[in-house]
């Protein structure tokens, strides 16, 4: 879950302790363009205070008004839709005819929310299911392949630790990449055994991990919410870390370097390490989208853009794609 949704969980537990009544609202499904994805949630307190969001603001305003009018009461969860007609879509700021379907819990199960928070704090994945017919909420173990499901009567959402990014190398590009990744809710970890680089690492919030990179990869126990980027240009450091990362469930593994250097790296991984062809094919290299980046911050932008595309299941454009789009302007990437 991202930081915005984590803040909702923190807030509702605090409100419950203080004796406030509140409702929990979750995006169950969207059609067309929508400001927030399925699974996003917000909490609405009895005095109108809001934590989190399910839209750009207009839907929140309507829900606040409904809370003030006493419409968000009762014990059973129910469905609330916005943007069903073009006029309503415009009213609630939903572009391109978007429709948002919400599950509203007027009286959330606080014990279940506490259990969910405890599982997340312990680094576990958890599934939270809201059954509209039974009016119940259950929490159970989640696994790496689980996804949000909604059949119109039962909503199941996956919750767990923050997305993680392990950066191998504490150089200049890493500084920009670490800061940008934190803005996208990644827990950022840095590993660089070279004292001349690691000694000066001072990016707030980005944790320096001691030891060799390959050991760090193993000890961190990478999961499908993890990404690894090797940026040292030193095969002794990068290759061993990549070896372990490519065998892990990490959703993204990338390495800095030219096409020629990455071709040689792939050949080394095939010949000298116990990696399958499919595992070697998972390597993103040259790392980043081909946006003509040259400076460290530009390179960091290209890397994070490719990580984001991979995380969201979008096919990142290739150099050939960029060249095809640039034909009319005569500008091409290498």
The predicted-structure confidence for 222-232, as pLDDT tens digits, reads as follows: 888 899 999 99
* Statement: residue 332 has pLDDT above 70: no
117-168 pLDDT per residue, tens: 998 877 788 999 999 999 999 999 987 668 899 999 999 999 887 789 999 9
* Statement: residue 193 has pLDDT above 50: yes
**pLDDT score of 79:** 96
Q: Are 126 and 120 in contact (CB under 8 A)?
A: yes
203 contacts: CB under 8 Å, gap ≥ 6: 175, 178, 179, 188, 190
| pLDDT confidence tier of residue 210, bands split at 50, 70 and 90 | very high
- Comparison of pLDDT for 244 and 322, the residue scoring more: 244
Burial degree of 179 (CB within 10 A; 0-12, 13-18, 19+): middle
**pLDDT score of 49:** 94
**pLDDT score of 134:** 95
DSSP letter at 66 equals H
**For the chain, percent of residues with pLDDT exceeding 70:** 86
Q: Are 168 and 191 in contact (CB under 8 A)?
A: yes
Inter-CA distances, 321 with 54, 289, 291, 315, 317, Å: 34, 11, 11, 11, 6
Distance of CA 42 to the CA centre of its chain: 17
Peptide bond into 286 cis (omega under 30): yes
| pLDDT confidence tier of residue 247, bands split at 50, 70 and 90 | very high
Q: In whole angstroms, what is the distance from residue 266 CA to residue 282 CA?
A: 10
Taken in order 85, 25, 186, 177, is the CA torsion positive or negative?
A: positive
317-330 pLDDT per residue, tens: 655 555 554 454 34
**pLDDT score of 316:** 61
CB atoms within 10 A of CB 292: 13
**pLDDT score of 31:** 80
Q: E strands of the chain, at which residues? A: 22-31, 41-45, 50-52, 78-82, 99-105, 126-131, 136-141, 149-150, 154-159, 163-168, 186-191, 207-209, 226-230, 252-255, 283-284
DSSP letter at 161 equals S
Q: In whole angstroms, what is the distance from residue 165 CA to residue 175 CA?
A: 13
CB contact burial 241-251 (16+ within 10 A = b; e otherwise):
bbbbbbbbebb
317 contacts: CB under 8 Å, gap ≥ 6: 289, 290, 325
38-68 pLDDT per residue, tens: 999 999 999 999 999 888 677 888 999 999 9
| pLDDT confidence tier of residue 313, bands split at 50, 70 and 90 | confident
Domain with CATH 3.40.50.720 in the chain: 163-321
Which CATH number among 3.40.50.720, 3.90.950.20, 3.30.360.10, 1.10.3720.10 corresponds to the domain 163-321?
3.40.50.720
254-298 pLDDT per residue, tens: 999 999 999 999 999 998 888 889 999 999 999 999 999 999 999
**pLDDT score of 124:** 80
Q: Are 93 and 57 in contact (CB under 8 A)?
A: yes
Taken in order 68, 71, 74, 78, is the CA torsion positive or negative?
A: negative
* Statement: residue 6 has pLDDT above 60: yes
Inter-CA distances, 235 with 170, 177, 267, Å: 15, 21, 12
DSSP letter at 85 equals S
Burial degree of 149 (CB within 10 A; 0-12, 13-18, 19+): middle
């Amino acid at each position: 879950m991202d930081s915005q949704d984590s803040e909702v969980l923190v807030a509702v537990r605090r409100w419950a302790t203080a004796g406030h009544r509140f409702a929990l609202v979750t995006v169950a499904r969207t059609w067309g363009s929508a400001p927030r994805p399925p699974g996003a949630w917000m909490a609405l307190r009895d005095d109108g205070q809001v934590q989190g969001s399910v839209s750009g603001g207009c839907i929140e305003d309507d829900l606040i008004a409904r809370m003030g009018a006493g419409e968000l009461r009762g014990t059973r969860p129910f469905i609330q839709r916005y943007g069903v007609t073009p006029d309503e879509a415009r009213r609630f700021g939903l572009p391109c005819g978007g429709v948002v379907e919400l599950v509203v819990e007027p009286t959330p199960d606080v014990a279940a929310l506490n259990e969910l928070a405890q599982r997340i704090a312990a680094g576990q994945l958890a599934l939270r299911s809201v059954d509209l017919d039974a009016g119940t909420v259950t929490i159970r173990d989640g696994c790496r392949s689980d996804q949000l499901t909604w059949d119109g009567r039962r909503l199941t959402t996956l919750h767990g630790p923050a997305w993680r990014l392990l950066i191998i190398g504490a150089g200049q590009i890493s500084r920009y990449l670490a800061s940008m990744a934190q803005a996208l809710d990644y827990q950022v970890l840095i590993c660089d055994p070279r004292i001349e680089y690691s000694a000066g690492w001072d990016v707030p919030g980005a944790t320096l991990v001691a030891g060799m990179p390959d050991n760090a990869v193993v000890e961190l126990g990478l999961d499908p919410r993890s990404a690894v980027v090797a940026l040292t240009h030193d095969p002794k450091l990068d290759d061993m870390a990549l070896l372990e990362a490519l065998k892990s469930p990490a959703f993204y593994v990338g390495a800095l370097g030219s096409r020629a250097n990455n071709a040689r790296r792939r050949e080394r991984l095939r010949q000298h390490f116990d990696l399958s062809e499919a595992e070697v094919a998972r390597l993103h290299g040259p790392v980043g989208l081909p946006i003509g980046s040259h400076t460290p911050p530009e390179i960091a932008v290209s890397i994070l853009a490719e990580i984001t595309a991979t995380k969201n299941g979008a096919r990142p454009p290739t150099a050939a794609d960029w060249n095809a789009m640039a034909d009319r302007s005569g500008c091409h990437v290498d």
